[in-house]
């Protein structure tokens, strides 16, 4: 059994993908070929924004936003405490200070109440300049971006939507990756829409920022690649990856997003009486980058994971260590109190992600669910 079954996806899309790869190989336009521009237009249309600028990976996409906004030393950027490392890493790369914020107990996404408390605290201390918010769409579910956007406007902060896991999600019919002043996503193979390597994209409605993004991703180029107006990156999406993503984006839009939501509902139907299943608020749609349950303790979670492994069922823990506890951030001169991260600390010890993808069989969901029920039933009997 595969955790994210890219093999079955390839079999379903083999003819189209093979043809797309062959076309690029024949034309030999491996860097910034026509497929890149075509994909960018398709992505912008899908999300509903003016501009999509592809790049080398999802981390670069986030860092490009920091570059465009000229985030710098002395700035504070607010980041959820329960997320992948890159969401905070890019703040430190910009020489700014990440300020970690606890998350909501139901959605696992940035808690708007905790967010505003941290913003007010930093404003009162006066040591740092509050500059931006990184709101992560975790596990496929968009953050509470309508409320977070109101908070950003109230405190004159820029909003960066990290949609690496949320691409395809929605809030009240509005697509993820369209809420931020700048939004980003990742095309890492296991993401909702993934390529066959690394890739990322940046979305914005701001014309000036879009031009800067196009410059920064290619060594800060001006009118041509040997006219360099600023210090930039080497962060282009390969033409091969763009060609593959065009095929995958169509499949995602045509049926994969619908199918993966059906799989999630089947998991819910079988597990809702046994474990804490994911909560999707009214008006929200998840793209289910992961299907993540919550157990009652670390011991139960770890024991269940071992039991699933014994039954050849893969699982993953996202994430075992809170951001504020990461050694890499120790030089931030910010003293955190664990009591400010009660939800994050609990989630790190109790969440478990199960196999999830559009090609998952109902029989597999039943097998996984029965294993979970069997293990927990045995615990009760013991």
Q: Are strands 129-136 and 158-162 parallel, antiparallel or unpaired?
A: parallel
Q: Where are the domains of the chain?
A: 6-248, 255-381
Average pLDDT over residues 261-281: 98
Please tell me the distance from the alpha carbon of residue 251 to that of residue 313, in angstroms, as a whole number: 26
Maximum distance among all Cα pairs of the chain, rounded to whole angstroms: 72
Residue 252 has pLDDT above 80, yes or no: yes
How many CB atoms are located within 10 Å of the residue 1 CB? 14
Give which of 2, 22, 18 is closest to 10, Cα–Cα. Answer: 18
Please tell me the distance from the alpha carbon of residue 70 to that of residue 89, in angstroms, as a whole number: 16
Residue found under tokens 């029920």 = 373
Residue 283 has pLDDT above 90, yes or no: yes
Please tell me the distance from the alpha carbon of residue 255 to that of residue 240, in angstroms, as a whole number: 23
- Res 337: pLDDT: 86
| Cα-based distances in Å from 155 to 76, 123, 210, 340, 357 | 13, 9, 24, 21, 39
- Res 335: pLDDT: 77
Residue 63 has pLDDT above 80, yes or no: yes
Average pLDDT over residues 224-232: 92
Q: Angle 125-129-135 (CA atoms, 0-180°, nearest 5)?
A: 105
Residue found under tokens 């075509």 = 38
Tell me the CATH number of domain 6-248, given options 3.40.640.10, 3.40.50.170, 1.10.10.10, 3.30.70.20.
3.40.640.10
Question: What's the mean per-residue pLDDT of the chain?
Answer: 97
| Chain centroid, CA 221 distance in Å | 28
**At residue 133, what are phi and psi to the nearest 5 degrees?**
-120, 135
The reported pTM is 0.97
| Cα-based distances in Å from 294 to 106, 163, 203, 381 | 10, 22, 32, 21
352 confidence band (pLDDT: 50, 70, 90) = very high
- Res 382: pLDDT: 63
- Residue 323 DSSP symbol: G
Residue 380 has pLDDT above 80, yes or no: no
Helix, strand, coil % in the chain, rounded to nearest 5 = 45, 15, 35
- Chain segment 97-136, per-residue pLDDT in tens: 999 999 999 999 999 999 999 999 999 999 999 999 999 9
Please tell me the distance from the alpha carbon of residue 137 to that of residue 178, in angstroms, as a whole number: 12
**At residue 185, what are phi and psi to the nearest 5 degrees?**
-145, 170
Please tell me the distance from the alpha carbon of residue 168 to that of residue 186, in angstroms, as a whole number: 12
Tell me the CATH number of domain 255-381, given options 3.30.1390.20, 3.90.1150.10, 3.10.310.30, 3.40.640.10.
3.90.1150.10
- Res 362: pLDDT: 97
Read off the tokens for 56: 């080398």
- Res 3: pLDDT: 97
């Amino acid at each position: 059994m595969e955790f994210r079954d890219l093999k079955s996806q390839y079999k379903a899309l083999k003819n189209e993908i093979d043809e797309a790869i062959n076309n690029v190989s024949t034309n030999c336009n491996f860097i910034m070929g026509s497929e890149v521009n075509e994909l960018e237009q398709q992505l912008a249309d899908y999300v509903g924004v003016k501009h999509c600028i592809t790049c080398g990976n999802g981390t670069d996409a986030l860092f490009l936003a920091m570059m465009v906004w000229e985030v710098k030393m002395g700035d504070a950027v607010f980041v959820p405490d329960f997320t992948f490392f890159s969401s905070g890493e890019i703040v430190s790369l910009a020489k700014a200070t990440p300020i970690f914020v606890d998350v909501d107990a139901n959605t696992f996404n940035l808690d708007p109440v905790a967010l505003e408390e941290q913003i007010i605290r930093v404003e009162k201390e006066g040591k740092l300049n509050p500059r931006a918010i990184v709101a992560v769409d975790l596990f496929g579910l968009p953050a509470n971006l309508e409320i977070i956007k109101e908070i950003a406007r109230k405190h004159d902060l820029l909003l960066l939507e990290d949609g690496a896991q949320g691409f395809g999600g929605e809030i009240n019919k509005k697509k993820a990756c369209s809420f931020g002043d700048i939004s980003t996503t990742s095309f890492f193979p296991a993401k909702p829409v993934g390529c066959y390597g690394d890739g990322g994209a940046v979305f914005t409605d701001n014309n000036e920022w879009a031009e800067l993004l196009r410059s920064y991703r290619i060594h800060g180029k001006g009118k041509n690649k040997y006219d360099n107006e600023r210090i930039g990156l080497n962060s282009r999406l390969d033409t091969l990856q763009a060609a593959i993503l065009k095929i995958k984006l169509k499949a995602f839009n045509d049926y994969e997003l619908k199918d993966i939501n059906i799989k999630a509902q089947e998991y819910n139907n079988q597990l809702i009486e046994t474990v804490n299943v994911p909560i999707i608020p009214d008006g929200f749609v998840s793209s289910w980058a992961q299907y993540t349950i919550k157990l009652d303790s670390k011991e139960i979670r770890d024991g269940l994971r071992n039991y699933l492994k014994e039954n050849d069922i893969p699982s993953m823990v996202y994430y075992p260590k809170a951001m504020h506890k990461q050694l890499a951030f120790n030089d931030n001169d910010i003293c955190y109190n664990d009591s400010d991260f009660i939800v994050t600390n609990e989630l790190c010890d109790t969440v478990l992600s199960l196999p999830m993808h559009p090609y998952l069989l109902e029989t597999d969901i039943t097998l996984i669910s029965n294993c979970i029920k069997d293990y927990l039933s045995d615990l009760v009997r013991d």
